[in-house]
Chain A
Amino acid sequence: MIRHSHVDYSPGTPITDRNPLTPVGLRLADLLAQRVRGWGLEQLYVSTMVRTQQTADAISRLLPDVPRWNMDELRETSIDDMVGYDGEMPSEDLVVWGAEHFRYADEHMQGRLARGWERILAHLDASGLQRVAIVSHGAAMNGLLHQFLGPPAWDRACWVDFYWAAITCLEYGPNLRRVRWLNDSRHAEPLRQEIKAYGETLSG
């Protein structure tokens, strides 16, 4: 499970479904691709947002034969998750959302994540694939992680602070569900200072 590469989330920058990777983010995506090159990946499942598509593009350039599914279910929380909301519709910029908006949108997001997760598992069971990668987003990956570990569902009280292009490894089998490691970003070391210039990680 891979988080998208670096996006400019510094104060004053809106967070929507369209933020692209920064120039350093594109370079980090290339480092990520080199890191996973020898892992024998057999399939990519990729969120359809711009930043995840760009991240996965770097992997696809190095591994053009690896099949890729682009999946709406793996998208980040966004204004699209506010469908049916009774109150006043917020702006699409997540930075200005209140707790009530996130509560509503997260419930919608968790529903589609669950559907995406089931679709991936069904594909794994049917195909017999053993090493696959999901490319998604910070909040969505928190939701997916709790989906993987079982109830209760994720809420925003506690986050995993997935770093840009960080890799989390989940082992899944008939009698096994185990997080092998969580949030490994050693391939980002050469760019860490450059990234830091944009601001700290989400946790501060």
Chain B
Amino acid sequence: MSMRTVYLLCHEGAETGHTTGPSEGGRAPGVGRLLIERVSERTLAWPLERVLVGQGAGHEMAEAVAEAHPEARLETNAVWDSPAGGESGFWERTCSALDQLLQTMDGDGSGHVAVVCDDRTINALVCHFMGRPEPDWDCLPFLVTRGSTSALRTNPESHWGTRWVRWVNDVRHLEGLGLAGDERD
């Protein structure tokens, strides 16, 4: 068993730091297209084998990323969807989806997988991975900007530990787009 990395790509329909809803059927307009291109280019640094997305929003980004990685499989599964209005089992569903994914990666030997989802889902995935409890959904612990990337890694051979959060909310590839959240320098 070796190193596995799960990249979390915040899709173009997501808002920043508060409740988001799926934007089924709509195509990303204007800056959204540019954002998708930038995210897709950013992923070229990673040898992705699978690109996962929910059944709601995020398909345009997932398709663009999959196109940039001809070897990668694009897989749609509702477990990666944003919380539906009033959904009570969102936390359990998302945590279980991550556990299942990591297990599958161990089984099929895949090392690099991207999940395209929204900021709440990414908060749930990061918190669960870190062993933290369910967050307060009205005050998310991690700001996750649309178009940002985050990365989680498992490495059973590391001397120091097996689960690693590599980064959260990286937006270096979005410089110049004038999006909220890219105000670091």
Q: Which residues from chain A sit less than 8 Å from chain B, CB to CB?
A: 35, 38, 95, 146, 149, 152, 155-161, 169, 171, 175-184, 186, 202-204
A-B CB contact pairs (8 Å), 10 listed:
A149-B141, A155-B131, A158-B130, A158-B131, A178-B17, A179-B143, A183-B166, A202-B164, A203-B153, A204-B153
Q: Provide the residues of chain B in CB contact with A169, threshold 8 Å.
A: 184
Q: Is residue B90 within 8 Å, beta carbon to beta carbon, of the partner chain?
A: no
Question: How many Å lie between the Cα of A190 and that of B153 in the bound state?
Answer: 24
A159 with B132, Cβ < 8 A, contacts A177-B141, A178-B139 known: no
Q: How far is the CB of B145 from chain A (nearest CB, A)?
A: 9
Asked whether A181 lies within 8 Å of B143 as measured between CB atoms, the reply is yes
List CB contacts (< 8 Å) of B150-177 with chain A: 153, 155, 157-172
Question: How many Å lie between the Cα of A35 and that of B131 in the bound state?
Answer: 32
Which secondary structure characterizes the binding site on chain B? loop
Asked whether A178 lies within 8 Å of B165 as measured between CB atoms, the reply is no
Q: How far is the CB of A109 from chain B (nearest CB, A)?
A: 15
Q: How far is the CB of A11 from chain B (nearest CB, A)?
A: 9
Across the interface, name the chain A residue whose C-beta is closest to B5: A203
A178 with B140, Cβ < 8 A, contacts A38-B185, A159-B165 known: yes
Question: How many Å lie between the Cα of A202 and that of B163 in the bound state?
Answer: 11
Q: Which residues from chain B sit less than 8 Å from chain A, CB to CB?
A: 3, 17, 129-133, 139-143, 153, 155, 157-172, 184-185
Across the interface, name the chain B residue whose C-beta is closest to A145: B130
A158 with B184, Cβ < 8 A, contacts A152-B132, A179-B142, A183-B166 known: no
Question: How many Å lie between the Cα of A175 and that of B164 in the bound state?
Answer: 29
Residue in B133, B166, B172 whose CB lies within 8 Å of A186:
B172
16 more contacts with CB within 8 A, not counting A149-B132, A202-B164, are: A35-B185, A158-B129, A158-B131, A158-B161, A161-B166, A175-B139, A179-B143, A180-B143, A181-B168, A181-B171, A183-B165, A184-B172, A184-B184, A186-B172, A203-B155, A203-B164
Asked whether B184 lies within 8 Å of A178 as measured between CB atoms, the reply is no
Asked whether A159 lies within 8 Å of B169 as measured between CB atoms, the reply is no
Q: Provide the residues of chain A in CB contact with B139, threshold 8 Å.
A: 175-178
Question: How many Å lie between the Cα of A180 and that of B96 in the bound state?
Answer: 26
Asked whether A184 lies within 8 Å of B166 as measured between CB atoms, the reply is no
Asked whether B164 lies within 8 Å of A159 as measured between CB atoms, the reply is yes
Question: How many Å lie between the Cα of A18 and that of B139 in the bound state?
Answer: 40
